[in-house]
Amino acid sequence: MKFFPVIWCGLKRKKARTILTLMSIVVAFLLYGYLSAVNTAFNMGVTVAGADRVVIRHKVSIIQLLPASYQARIERVNGVAKAAHMTWFGGIYQKPSNFFPQMPVVPADFFEVWPEFLLPEAQKQAWLRTRTGAIVGRRTAEKYGFKIGDRIPIQATIWRQKGGQTTWEFDLVGIYDGAEKNTDTTQLFFRYDYFDEARVQAKGSVGWYGARIQDPNQSALIAQAIDQEFANSPEETKTESEGAFVQGFAKQVGDVGAILAAILTAVFFTILLVVGNTMAQAVRERTEEIGVLKALGFTNTLVLWLVLAEALMLSFSGGIIGMGISWLLISRGDPTGGSLPNFFLPSHAFVSGFILMLALGAATGFLPAWRAMKLTVAEALRRG
């Protein structure tokens, strides 16, 4: 490209300004790349692990409870291998910022439906023997220094005990690991029989069910059959794949995708103004130079393309650097230390990033390029 020096010459003219503009583009695309990874991580959840599982929840919302008696009826549905339930406990360990989920489960059923939680046999036996026993994942155990034999007090926010007590104490009998790299090992599980016996409200209810199915390809049909089983009962159900369920759970926090989209829209709108202003100024300052190029015989169309190329070069160099840095940061792994196990830069982000760079360059370059094209030589070269 023999015209490269001419394009480059425009960007070099005010180095500081070009660098500042470039940096703002870099930051925008860094954010774009990073937030794309966050968005993907939220949407993927743990789907990968749960292909052969469905989750059964109350039809109205995930915070409505279901009867514990549904378990046997779920297991009778054709194609269901095993069902088990969990309930959101939502307690606090010492202070609210120490967040990890706690859930009462029935140990034997639990390991059958969620085999990715690996607990040594001896600890499993200890849990079955200990009514107040609990197991906790490796990550949380390491974070808070929990050891087997510890007594862990959890402050209830939802479930009070008989006698008004709000502190529940659990005896730590085991520490589990994850079978997969992305298995969540932050949760604490304790025994449902202890929980149901001690709580005041809603005895005999559970939060939701997980069910292992025999053939993952049949999951849609089986989900339908399960919901059919409870149709027209006081607590109707909604059965979905585990991935969809996790997504729904994340949406409790807010629509992550929409929030990220809003942030990025604001960022790119700002960038559009910044870069647009830079380009407009750069061309205005060079009115005479553009006049000279035309006097030398550069056609209006060629001048249009040169200015457009300059804007595109700016947006592409900023965009590529920004996406590159975000890729480097993202490849260092999950920034939350476990909450977003599927943290990576999706390939579609590169494609839409490329389109964004093109759009940014075209949008910011078009008006100045048009003006440069329309400029007549005699006007451009007249002084004062």
Which residues of this chain interact with another protein, rule CB under 8 A?
A: 2-3, 5-6, 8-9, 12-13, 288-289, 291-301, 376-378, 381, 383
- Residue 258 interacts with ligand ADP (CB under 6 A): yes or no: no
Q: How many residues bind ligand ADP (CB under 6 A)?
A: 3
Q: Are 108 and 124 in contact (CB under 8 A)?
A: no
Amino acid letter, residue 73: R
Find the shortest distance in angstroms from Cβ 242 to another protein: 59
Helix (H) or strand (E) holding 207: none
Find the shortest distance in angstroms from Cβ 19 to ligand ADP: 36
Residues 6+ apart with CB under 8 A from 225: 77, 78, 79
CA dihedral 277, 279, 282, 285 (to 10 degrees): -70
* Cβ distance to another protein smaller for residue 213 or 380: 380
Find the shortest distance in angstroms from Cβ 373 to another protein: 10
* Cβ distance to another protein smaller for residue 41 or 309: 309
Residues 325-384 that bind ligand ADP (CB under 6 A): 378-379, 382
Find the shortest distance in angstroms from Cβ 288 to ligand ADP: 14
Q: Are 7 and 310 in contact (CB under 8 A)?
A: yes
Find the shortest distance in angstroms from Cβ 376 to another protein: 8
* Cβ distance to another protein smaller for residue 249 or 298: 298
- Strands of 122-279 (E only): list them: 133-137, 151-155, 167-178, 188-191, 205-206, 208-213, 237-241
The option from another protein, ligand ADP, none interacting with 234 (CB < 5 to 8 A, set by class) reads none
Burial of 335 (0-12, 13-18, 19+ CB in 10 A): middle
From CA 142, how far away is CA 134, in angstroms rounded? 16
* Cβ distance to ligand ADP smaller for residue 221 or 378: 378
Find the shortest distance in angstroms from Cβ 23 to another protein: 20
* Cβ distance to ligand ADP smaller for residue 291 or 365: 291
From CA 293, how far away is CA 286, in angstroms rounded? 11
The option from another protein, ligand ADP, none interacting with 244 (CB < 5 to 8 A, set by class) reads none
Q: Which residues bind ligand ADP (CB under 6 A)?
A: 378-379, 382
